[in-house]
Amino acid sequence: MKQAWLATTLVICGLAQALIGGQVAIADDDPTGAQLLPKDTLLFFSIPSVPDFNEEFDKSVTGSMLRDPELKPFLDDVRKKIDELSDKLQAEVGVTIPELLAIPKGEVTIAVMERPARKLAPVLIMDYGDKETIEKLLKKMHDGLDDVAEHSTQDVGDVSVHVYAFKNVEPNNPFQTLAYFNDDSCLVFSTSVDALKEVLDRWDGDSTDTLANNDIYKYVQDRCKEESSDPALVWFVNPIGLIQSSLDMASEFAPQVGMAKLFLPSLGIDKLKGWGGASYYGSDDFDGVSKTFVHAEQPTGVLNVFQFPATDLAPPKWVPADVTAYFSANWNVPQAYQAIESLVDSIQGRGATAKQLDKFANSEDGPGLHIKKDVLDLLDGKFHVTQRASEDSDEPAPKFLMAFDVKDPAKMKKTLAKAAKSEGANLETRDFNGETIYEVSAGDDQTISMAVTGGQVVFTNDTPSLEAMLRTVSTAPLAESAGYRKIAKRFPPKVSMIGYSRADAQMKAAYEMLKNADNAEFLEGIDVKKLPPFEALEKYLRPSGSYAVPDKKGSLFVTFQLKEGDK
């Protein structure tokens, strides 16, 4: 039985390996994966054209890096290891890795639907080109399952569906069966015959009850569309549907779990209708673009904690050009507080939150601060986060700095001073350039430093960065650097969030640590000491940018990398 399961697993893994290879183009008039699935599909992931994906990836900066001659000695070791694995796969299954990678000819889709009721059914749909290899794999799977499952066939229209019912499986095991059908040049797998019937019902491509016609799916994909190119990847999740289906399944074995569904509206989770996106290679002058849209029309409950209105965002002058990453956002703090207060009061009674905050403020054991009046009400909403690459590979954490804009700096200074004087605070103070720095040990030889300066309250584990803010000596600001300005040109005028990162600086320490590790052969036969100096690959690592903008039905998040850019 063990050998049977091993063979079957290798076959399924082999089919999964085929997701990243292929040579032949799909016919334009074939229905897409989204057209073969029902409207209420819970999860959807698709590579619309595997050959196009491979071609565009090969043109990308990463593809160019993998062809760099200085990387060849290391990659030769990798190829030898792949050849060894290929020989083992051929011995077990009868096909090689190159044969597997030659299977897909067009779209590959992975989805999850609820079919039958209270049963989540994964589905794999794959257009293939090498029929001989597919037949070998299917025969090997059939032979491997012979002792552990009963094989039968069901006719659905003129298609024969193969069904393997596993023997001696626990009743609560969700994988009772494995089923598939092979129609011309398309192979479809699932754990449910009902799910396969849903696909076959839409096989002609003329059904209107499809994911492609789902209004939320269409809106998400429309907002994630890139006019200059077709997507390399497309995905979509029905969050509330997935949560409800999971709770329904769990309630069969633990009925009390089903009660959780009653709280979804009060939490506002029922407003989270869709979450999806698309990724692109070679779009205009972008090396890569990824777009994600969260569909949450008229959010309520906890979703209101995450409200970020659009405004002007840019790095302040104190952010130096040598940071490895920068992030900024405009958070609606009053609305976030109100959302939390409403939720707590709905459970504990009207005014419960205010009473608890008052009690905490007047407690003899606490710092004597009112969290809302002395902290939250002073926050402007804008905040900034910077990160620096660690120069010491032994440091336990990256260097970060968080700065929150405040409405009344003088009052915030009083708040921080009052907190420092409270019993058990363990805050040490010192003066620096006319301001007070508060410091507390965070373990692992780390110190968290705090101060109010320049209209912001600052928290950091990188004390030199805070001291640089407090100095009057000017430094080269990030906002004026060539690399950031090229990225910032792509930001809309009004945004909820912006981000900037330098992959070269972020990866250098980890690369050097890997290359110089004592046990350099992390996989037998692959010697990481053959990796070239980091400088050989640094030229391929481009700065990247990101931003978010609100929408009447949610929020759009965009991440991109330019084909060329200054460091």
**Mean predicted confidence (pLDDT) in 138-165:** 92
Most confident listed range (86-90, 451-455, 494-498):
494-498
Closest of 457, 479, 499 to residue 318, by C-alpha? 479
**Rounded-to-integer distance, Cα 237 and Cα 42, Å:** 6
Confidence band of 269 (pLDDT split at 50, 70, 90) = confident
Which of residues 213, 246, 266 is at a domain's end?
213
- Residue 182 near residue 135 (C-beta atoms within 8 A): no
How far apart (Å, rounded) are the C-alpha atoms in residues 319 and 326? 8
Instruction: Indicate if 333 and 207 belong to the same structural domain.
Output: no
pLDDT surpassing 50 at residue 23: no
Considering the domain boundaries, does residue 329 fall inside one? Answer: yes
Q: With pLDDT > 70 as the criterion, what percentage of the chain qualifies?
A: 91
Do 531 and 440 have their domain in common?
A: yes
Using the predicted structure, report yes or no on whether residue 16 has a pLDDT greater than 50.
Answer: no
Question: What is the Cα–Cα distance from 567 to 6, expressed in whole angstroms?
Answer: 49
Residue 278 in contact with residue 549, Cβ under 8 Å? no
Q: Pick from 461, 370, 389: which is nearest to 450 by CA?
A: 461
- Dihedral of CA 299/300/301/305: which sign? positive
Residue 540 lies in a domain: yes
**pLDDT for position 487:** 95
Between strands 543-551 and 497-502, the pairing is antiparallel
Cα angle: 411, vertex 416, 422; to 5 degrees: 125
pLDDT value at 1 more than 60: no
User: Confidence band (pLDDT; 50, 70, 90) for 392?
Assistant: low
Place 8 in a pLDDT band, splitting at 50, 70 and 90.
Answer: very low
* Position 257 in a domain: no
Q: Does residue 188 sit in the same domain as residue 307?
A: no
- Tokens found for residue 453: 């300066």
Hunting for tokens 């777009």 — which residue is that? 291
Instruction: For residue 186, tell me if it sits in a domain.
Output: yes
Q: Does 364 lie in the same domain as 502?
A: yes
Q: Are residues 525 and 430 in the same domain?
A: yes
Least confidently predicted of 212-221, 329-338, 421-430 = 421-430
- Residues contacting residue 110 through CB under 8 Å, at least 6 positions apart: 43, 44, 45, 46, 122, 123, 124, 125
State in Å, rounded, how far the first CA of the chain is from the last one.
Answer: 57
DSSP state of 542: -
Query: Alpha-carbon distance 31 to 186, whole Å?
Result: 11
For the chain, give the number of residues: 567
| 434 within some domain | yes
Whether 287 maps to a domain, the answer reads: no
Do 206 and 304 share a structural domain?
A: no
Are 22 and 51 in contact by the 8 Å Cβ rule? The answer is: yes
> Other C-beta atoms within 10 Å of 384: how many?
22
Strands (E), 200-267: 233-237
Q: Mean pLDDT score of the chain, rounded to an integer? A: 87
In a domain, 221, yes or no: no
Question: Which residue has tokens 């040598």?
Answer: 322
DSSP character at residue 373: I
Report the 10 Å Cβ neighbour count for 187: 22
Domain count of the chain?
Answer: 2
| Contact indicator for 432, 382 with CB cutoff of 8 Å | no
Q: Which of 213, 228, 255 is the last residue of a domain?
A: 213
Distance CA 46, CA 32 (A): 9
Confidence bin at 7 (pLDDT 50/70/90): very low
Entry pTM: 0.88
User: Nearest 5°: CA angle at 51, between 49 and 55?
Assistant: 115
Run of H or E residues at 547: strand 543-551
What is the rounded distance in angstroms from the CA atom of residue 429 to the CA atom of residue 176? 64
> How high is the pLDDT of residue 91?
84
Q: Which of 213, 247, 263 marks a domain boundary?
A: 213
| pLDDT at residue 89 in the model | 83
Examine the domain organization and report whether 548 and 452 are in the same domain. yes
Domain with 521 in it = 296-562
What burial class does residue 392 get, using C-beta atoms within 10 Å of its C-beta: 0-12 exposed, 13-18 middle, 19+ buried? exposed
Q: What is the mean pLDDT of residues 175-203?
A: 94
pLDDT of 332 > 50? The answer is yes
Distance CA 8, CA 2 (A): 10
Instruction: Indicate the SS3 state at residue 11.
Output: helix
Q: Which two tokens stand for residue 385?
A: 């986060």
Q: What is the pLDDT of residue 185?
A: 87
Helix axes 333-348, 352-361, angle to 10 degrees: 110
Residue appearing with tokens 């039985």: 1
pLDDT tens-digit readout, 66-83:
999 999 999 999 899 899
The pLDDT of residue 19 is 42
- For residue 300, the 8-state DSSP code is -
The amino acid that residue 339 corresponds to is A
Q: How far is CA 479 from the centre of its chain?
A: 27
How confident is residue 312, by pLDDT bands cut at 50, 70 and 90? very high
Dihedral (C-alpha) 147, 148, 154, 160: value to the nearest 10 degrees?
Answer: -70
